[in-house]
């Protein structure tokens, strides 16, 4: 366990160094505002690629994303990574950054909701229709985002605890680096089931949704966005956050299985 903790800490520090290097202007030839550096939850991979291209076409500003679990990205920011904006799948991680003084509080906004589902490989013959079915003998392995730092894993653990299944299923769980890694395990058929976001299931043709966890079984899944106080390109990044809450972006988010938050933002 100590070795695992040391390795994790080392990886975070190394990644933070890489992020710092990537997020630092390369020299006098840089065009101010010509590109922005964004940390984003891995579950935003496909939709962010779509929207980043639209934003570049409409604003002439290139978006350079770094995608991982929100917990790891938060630790990279705390370790000194210089980026412009953070799109987190966890309100808790944003709260921690705000409390520690890394976040520009006035720019923070909650902009998306998601759901939590259990998926099985498309060719699976396992009979899984409820959470209790995960106890079946034929379900030997269940992929889940590592609850130590992956929001999807934290939501999954919370749901299983509230359903009184966590202790019984603990030995079957396969912790993964992020939500997309858990999805990949189900797509490859290396596990019988995976706990992922509804949006992840929507973009994959290699898995089927076995069941959805009740909304009451876990904390609401809310994505939060904000600028960092040490943003390299604050004005350009602010334009990107405004773009993410525009009517056109909301339509795209909906297409990718997310639920845009419209309260007070149109």
Domain boundaries, the chain: 2-24+31-113+221-260, 116-212
Q: What is the pLDDT of residue 262?
A: 83
255 by DSSP, 3-state: which? Answer: helix
Q: Is the model's pLDDT at 114 over the cut of 60? A: yes
Per-residue pLDDT reduced to its tens digit, 149-206: 999 999 999 999 999 999 999 999 999 999 999 999 999 999 999 999 999 999 999 9
Is the predicted pLDDT of residue 16 greater than 90, yes or no?
A: no
Instruction: Give the long-range contacts of residues 145-149, CB within 8 A, separation 24 or more.
Output: 145/69, 145/175, 145/176, 145/177, 145/178, 145/179, 145/181, 145/182, 145/195, 146/69, 146/175, 146/176, 146/177, 147/175, 148/71, 148/175, 149/69, 149/71, 149/72, 149/75
pLDDT in tens, 128-145: 999 999 999 999 999 999
User: Under CATH, domain 116-212 is a member of which superfamily?
Assistant: Periplasmic binding protein-like II (3.40.190.10)
Q: What is the pLDDT of residues 204-261, one digit of tens each?
A: 999 999 999 999 999 999 999 999 999 999 999 999 999 999 999 999 999 999 999 9
Q: Is the pLDDT of residue 32 over 60?
A: no
Q: Which helix (H) or strand (E) holds 185?
A: helix 179-188
Whether 116-212 and 2-24+31-113+221-260 are alike in CATH topology: the answer is yes
Question: CA 174 to CA 2: how far, in whole Å?
Answer: 19
CATH 3.40.50.300 fits 2-24+31-113+221-260, yes or no: no
pLDDT at 182: 98
């Amino acid at each position: 366990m100590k070795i695992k903790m040391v390795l994790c800490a080392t990886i975070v520090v190394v990644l933070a160094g890489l992020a710092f290097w990537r997020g630092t202007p390369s020299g006098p030839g840089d065009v101010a505002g010509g590109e922005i550096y964004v940390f984003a939850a891995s579950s935003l991979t496909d939709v962010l690629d779509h929207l980043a291209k639209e934003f570049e076409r409409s604003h002439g500003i290139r978006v350079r994303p770094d995608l991982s679990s929100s917990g790891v990205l938060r630790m990279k920011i705390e370790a000194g990574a210089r980026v412009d904006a953070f799109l987190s799948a966890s309100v808790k991680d944003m709260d921690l950054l705000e409390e520690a003084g890394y976040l520009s509080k006035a720019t923070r906004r909650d902009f998306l909701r998601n759901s939590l589902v259990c998926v099985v490989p498309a060719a699976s013959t396992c009979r899984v229709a409820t959470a209790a079915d995960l106890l079946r003998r034929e379900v030997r392995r269940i992929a889940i985002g590592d609850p130590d730092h992956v929001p999807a894993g934290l939501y999954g653990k919370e749901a299983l605890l509230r359903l009184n299944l966590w202790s019984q299923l603990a030995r079957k769980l396969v912790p993964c680096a992020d939500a997309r890694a858990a999805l990949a395990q189900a797509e490859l058929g290396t596990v019988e089931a995976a706990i992922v976001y509804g949006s992840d299931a929507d973009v994959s043709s290699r898995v089927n949704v076995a069941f959805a966890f009740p909304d009451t079984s876990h904390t609401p899944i809310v994505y939060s966005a904000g600028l960092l106080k040490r943003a390299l390109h604050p004005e350009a990044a602010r334009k990107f956050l405004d773009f993410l809450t525009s009517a056109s972006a909301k339509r795209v988010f909906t297409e990718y299985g997310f639920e845009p938050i419209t309260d007070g933002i149109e």
